[in-house]
């Protein structure tokens, strides 16, 4: 599984990155996690950050920020 957290490094983006890492750890999913901070790369996927991409599919964009349980659900739905 390929997971990308899209964000410029702001507090909300850092929060989502940590939530994603925790969700993957709890699910024990083998994955590659990439924190994309390049604005040109981010704009290929979303208009608002933070964004979450699983296997090249945008599953979250902007606010409200998902919690660990919501991210776990998104991961399971997009495996």
Q: Where are the domains of the chain?
A: 2-77
pLDDT value at position 35?
98
**Domain formed by 2-77, architecture:** 3-Layer(aba) Sandwich (3.40)
Strands (E), 1-79: 2-6, 32-36, 51-54, 57-61
pLDDT value at position 77?
96
Least Cα distance to 21 among 32, 8, 10 occurs for: 32
pLDDT value at position 12?
97
Catalytic residues: 10, 13
pLDDT value at position 18?
98
Q: Which residues contact 73 (CB under 8 A, 6 or more apart)?
A: none
57-79: per-residue pLDDT in tens? 999 999 999 999 999 999 999 98
Phi, psi of 76 (to 5 degrees): -65, -35
Please give the mean pLDDT across all residues of the chain: 97
């Amino acid at each position: 599984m390929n997971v990308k957290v899209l964000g410029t490094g702001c507090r909300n983006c850092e929060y989502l990155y940590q939530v994603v890492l925790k969700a993957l750890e709890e699910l024990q999913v083998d994955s590659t996690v990439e924190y994309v901070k390049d604005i040109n790369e981010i704009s290929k996927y979303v208009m608002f950050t933070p964004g979450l991409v699983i296997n090249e599919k945008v599953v979250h964009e902007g606010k409200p920020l998902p919690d660990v349980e919501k991210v776990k659900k998104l991961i399971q739905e997009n495996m």
